[in-house]
Amino acid sequence: MRDILNKLLNGELSIDEAEEQLRIMRTQEVGENIKFDIMREERVGVPEAVYSQGKTDADLVNIINNVQFSKQLMITRLPKDRFNRIKSQLNKDILEKGTYYEEASILTINKVEPKHHPGKIGIITAGTADVPVAEEARITLKQAGYDVVRTYDVGVAGIHRLIDKITLLLEEKVDVIITVAGMEGALPSVVAGLVNIPIIAVPTSTGYGVGEKGFLALFSMLQSCAPGIATMNIDNGYGAGIYAITIMKQIEKHVNEKY
C-alpha cells in the first residue's frame, strides 16, 4: 500500500490506476472460483478464516497452499479424517507452521504468533456434547490473542455445579461469557440472571425429539427474559468467538483513548 501511495504522490500513477492496484491488493484470486480476502484482519481486526465445508479437497488444498495471508489463517470445520486426507498435499512450510485441534475441528497456520491482548473471556458449556462448539470459539479467541477461562459440563441439570463455576469466572475478572448449550437452551438465561457482563449464547444441535438439530435451544435463547444476551446461530462457535473479539477490541480502544 505504501509503495502504491508513493507512486501516486510522485506522479507515477494516476488516481484511477492507484485505486485499481489497491483494489487488487485487497483480494487474491486463487484459481477460477476463489477470490480470497487477504486484508480482513487489517480491516476489521478478526482472525482470517476459511470455512472448509462445501469446498472440494482440491479447492481447500489450493487455498491453504497459495493464499498470501499476512499473519494467521484458520481452517474451520475440518474433521480429522479430512485433515489426514489432505495433509500430504500441503506444503511442508505450511505444515511446520500449522497446528490441528481435533476437538475444535480447526487447523491454524501462524506465520506470526498472535499478539496478546488484555482481558479475558469465559466459556461455559452445559454438557460435554457441547464442547466441540465451545472449542471452536476458544481456538478463535486464541488466534486473536485473548486469554480464555473455560469450564465445561456445568449445565442446569445439576445447577449446583454452575454457581461455583460462575464464581470462578467472576474471580478471574472475565469481560464476556460465552455460554454453549443444547437441549432446552436454559444455560444463558440462568447465567445472565446472575452476572452483570455481556453474555453470548450459542445453541447447539444436541437434544431429543423437538430439541433435535438445535432449534428449540435457539428459540429459547432468543426468547430469554434475562437481559444482556446476544444469540448466535446453531453450533456457531466461530461466530461467538468473533463477537467476543469485537467487544474486547472496543473495550481496549476506549481504555487506550482514555489513557
> What pLDDT sits at residue 222?
94
Give the pTM.
0.83
Query: Residue range 54-76: average pLDDT?
Result: 84
**What are the CA-CA distances from residue 22 to residues 69, 137, 206 (Å)?**
16, 32, 45
Q: 221: which 3 cell numbers?
A: 435463547
pLDDT digits (tens, 9 = 90+) for 116-154: 889 999 999 999 999 999 999 999 999 999 999 999 998
Cβ pair 183, 206 in contact under 8 A: yes
Question: Which residue has cell 476489521?
Answer: 44
Query: What is the gyration radius of the CA atoms in the chain, in angstroms?
Result: 21
Provide CB contacts within 8 A for 130, sequence distance 6+. 152, 180, 181, 182, 204, 206
Q: Please, where are the H alpha helices in the chain?
A: 2-9, 15-26, 40-44, 57-66, 80-86, 92-97, 131-143, 159-171, 187-192, 215-222, 237-258
Domain locations along the chain:
27-110, 120-258
pLDDT digits (tens, 9 = 90+) for 158-171: 888 888 889 889 98
Sign of CA dihedral 180, 181, 187, 192: positive
Tens of pLDDT, residues 213-241: 999 999 999 999 898 899 999 999 999 99
Q: What's the pLDDT score for residue 215?
A: 93
The CATH number of the domain covering residues in 120-258:
3.40.50.1970
User: DSSP letter at 238?
Assistant: H
DSSP letter string, 191-202 = HHTT-SS-EEEE
